[in-house]
Amino acid sequence: MQLFNTSERFGMVTIFFHWMIATIVLTLLALGWYMVELTYYDPLYNSLPFIHKSIGVLLAAVLIVKLGWRLFDRAPSPIAALSALETTFAGMAHIALNTLILFIIISGYLIPTANGEGISVFDWFEVPASMVEFPDQEDTAGLLHKVLAYALVGFIAVHMAAACKHHFIQKNDVLRRMLGLTSNHS
């Protein structure tokens, strides 16, 4: 498999970023849902938010590198079996997914830094607190973080359903390309 994208296939780097981000996002969603149910006396009350924030910062770094990579490595041409409308919707959906993830990261950053303290990332380094503060920052950012996370779950469900539709119903190569597999239609 090639490193870079070609006009027909995704390269290893693009595929790696896709599945790495998917894994991190799903992990963060699971951690987020679990930790909001913790009580003050739960032994994981402090450690899970620490892990969630640390992974969130790492996701930000991976997303920035991925978006930078995307500027230099063009996406393959759309699959011929897709209509212009499907291609347009797919492009809009990918922009929406990346934008949602970005805003979830930003709102997540604004929650713990509202008190002026930075975010320790696995005790390796610290991301400084924001220089910008606004009224009720922690509550406002927390609500936005939660609402956007629910929206992201919806977008992920649609994204996965579309991939399954392409693979099992339309029997085209959309999913196979992101799995790094060769075309069934060559």
In 3D space, the residue among 28, 36, 33, 34 whose CA is nearest the CA of residue 54 turns out to be 28
Residue 186, pLDDT above cutoff 70: no
Residue 8, pLDDT above cutoff 60: yes
User: What does pTM read for this prediction?
Assistant: 0.93
Six token digits for residue 106? 């930003």
In 3D space, the residue among 162, 151, 163, 178 whose CA is nearest the CA of residue 29 turns out to be 151
The CATH class of 12-178 is mainly alpha
Rounded Cα distance between 13 and 20, Å, is 10
Residue 183: which pLDDT band, with cuts at 50, 70 and 90? confident
Six token digits for residue 119? 């975010």
Six token digits for residue 114? 């509202």
Model confidence pLDDT, tens digit, residues 78-131:
998 899 999 999 999 999 999 999 999 999 999 999 999 999 999 999 999 988
Element (H, E) at 47: helix 47-72
